[in-house]
Amino acid sequence: MTYTLTAEEYILSLLLLDGAEVAASIKDEVFGDISDQLLECRLDSATSGLISKGLLSVDGSQEKVDEQFQNFLMGLTKVKRIIRGQIATDEGASTVSLFCDKDFTVQQSLYDNRVFKLFGESDEQKLGRLMDLSFNRVEGQAFSVKEPQFEKVVDKLLAGRELTAEESSLFDPHFLDVLVAKKGKLNSLYDYRLGEQVAIGALLYISSGEQTWFIENNEDNLIIAPFSFGDLFE
C-alpha cells in the first residue's frame, strides 16, 4: 500500500491517532514557528484532502480514520529504529527515512518536505538505491584527512573549481573519483534508536555508481572508508 500525503494531511492524520509527538516533529521540520491560528487553517484544508482520498470520514462531529490507513500509521509510531538519509542532488536535497521493523516502511519527503510518500518495501537493493547507498561495500582501505583540508576541497568542488595535484593526493583515488563525480555534494545519515533514551548516530556519506564512502569525525581528523547499505545492519 502506498500513501501520498501533503505535510498538513500527514500531521492531521497523526494527531487524530494520538501521534502528537511525531506530528509535532514534522510540523517543526516543515513549518517552523508557524502560529497556531495558521496551522489550524492548514489542518482544516487537510481534512478535505483526507476525505477526498477516502482516508477520513466525518459523521456529524465524529471523524473516523480509514482502518487500514490507521493500522499503517500506528505501525510507524511503534518502531524502535529509524534511519534517515538527507540526499544532496543538483536540484537540492531530498529526505528518505526507513522505519525498521520486521518489514521496512519508506517515508520519502518531496518538494521541500511539502509532500510525503509512504510505502512498504522489502527489496534491500531498492532500499539502498532510495537511500543513495551501494548494496555491497567496495574494496578499499580507510584513510584519514585533516578536517580543514577536506572542507577546502569540498568548497572548491562545490564552486566548480579544479583541484590541484597536491589536493588530490590527500585522498584514496577511488574516493576522489566519487567526490569529483558528485561535485563535492555530501549526504547525511542519521540513525535513531528509540527507547527510554534516544540514541542518535550521525555521519556524512557520498555515493556514485556502485561506490559509497562514509566520512566521520574523529577529533581533528576525518575518517573516510568504504560503506554500504548492508553495513547499517551489522
pLDDT of 21 strictly over 70:
yes
Cβ atoms within 10 Å, residue 15: 16
Cell (9 digits) for 190: 542519521
Q: Coil, helix or strand for 222?
A: strand
Write down the pLDDT at residue 1: 84
For the stretch 100-120, pLDDT in tens is 988 899 999 887 778 999 999
pLDDT at position 40 over 90: no
Computed on alpha carbons and rounded to an integer, the radius of gyration of the chain in Å comes to 21
Helix ranges (DSSP H) in the chain = 7-16, 20-31, 36-52, 67-76, 124-130, 147-158, 165-168, 173-181
Residue scoring higher pLDDT (177 or 39) = 177
Mean pLDDT of 216-226: 92
Count of Cβ atoms closer than 10 Å to residue 9 Cβ:
25
pLDDT of residue 123: 93
Helix intervals (H) in 17-130: 20-31, 36-52, 67-76, 124-130
Can you tell me the distance from the alpha carbon of 196 to that of 175, in angstroms, rounded to the nearest whole number?
38
- Identify the pLDDT of residue 196: 66
Residue 96: how many CB atoms within 10 A of its CB?
Answer: 21
Neighbours of 228 (CB within 10 A): 21
Side-chain half-sphere CA neighbours of 112 within 13 A = 4
Q: Which phi and psi angles does 213 have, rounded to 5°?
A: -130, 140
| Per-residue confidence (pLDDT) for residue 51, from 0 to 100 | 95
User: For all residues of the chain together, what is the average pLDDT?
Assistant: 91
